[in-house]
Amino acid sequence: MIEMYLGMHSGGWAIDGRTQGWSAHDDPVSALQSWAGEIERERAGRWRKASVTLWLSGGLARPFLCGPVAGLASWDEAEAMGSATALEATGFDAPCRVRLEGWPGDASVLGTAVDAAVAQAVAEVAHARRLAWRSVRPRWAGLLDEALARHASVSLIACAEEDALTILGGTTNVQDGTADDFELAATYSPAPAADRSTALWNRTMLSRDARPEDTWFARIEAPAPELGRAADDASMRRCWPDAVRLPEGVLP
């Protein structure tokens, strides 16, 4: 399995959970193109066509609540309305592309706004490098899946990354372990300092009267600088960005 993680300031790629490359960058688009080239070279003679899971950081893919709004007649209108509200809702200062998880007519739905330049690069890289995207998702969405898989009644999560703190809240369908009816979707980017992150999290828990056992605060851990291609297999597995849940009292 090939994975890539792209953040505003750093990222890299891995094969079967083993980090193959990681670096800091000033331009996420250039970094994405560079790592795609590395994958293309590394897969020569091994894969006819690479299939890659791409994870986007919370700074590049930000959640927001869209709607409710009456009178929408088509998905084009719904997405246009989402795009019009996404900038203010997410804090993006550049154009973005929006994906809605449902119809924002009778109730608000979760939307995701992605930096437009990054979204365009994702499409162009796949075409130019002959990569097939297995999936392109925010890392906080993967964290939500992981949290619900471990504890089906989770109703509040936080995903702390280098470039953002993302908080999601809603109700949970305990029977099938899925999140429904999102009531909170917030991104803080740049990522707040440690003390402010703790204050935000505690205040959010109190305002929602959330039980500690129904909450999930995790940090996406990046590779340590000293770990690289020469590291042994066990170290390589540990250094790929994982969602590490932080115990109460050790936040963030």
**Gap between the Cα atoms of 198 and 192, Å rounded:** 9
Task: Compute the C-alpha angle 109/173/99, nearest 5°.
Answer: 25
Nearest CA-CA partner of 88 in 56, 55, 111: 111
Tens digit of pLDDT at every position of the chain (252 positions): 889 999 999 999 988 888 888 999 999 999 999 998 888 787 655 555 668 899 999 999 999 999 888 888 899 999 888 988 999 999 998 889 999 988 888 888 999 999 999 999 999 998 887 778 999 999 999 999 999 888 888 999 999 999 999 999 987 654 444 556 789 999 999 999 989 999 999 999 999 999 888 999 999 988 765 544 454 544 444 468 888 887 665 555
Residue 163 confidence (pLDDT): 96
Nearest CA-CA partner of 122 in 44, 6, 43: 6
**Gap between the Cα atoms of 18 and 240, Å rounded:** 6
Q: How many CB atoms lie within 10 A of CB 149?
A: 10
Which of helix, strand or coil describes residue 112?
strand
Cβ-based burial of 1 (10 A; exposed 0-12, middle 13-18, buried ≥19): exposed
Each domain of the chain, given as residue ranges in start order, spans 2-58+116-245
Residue ranges in 91-214 assigned as alpha helix (H): 116-129, 139-150, 194-207
Over the stretch 153-202, which tens digit does the pLDDT of each residue have? Answer: 899 999 999 999 999 998 765 444 455 678 999 999 999 998 999 999 99
Which of helix, strand or coil describes residue 33?
helix
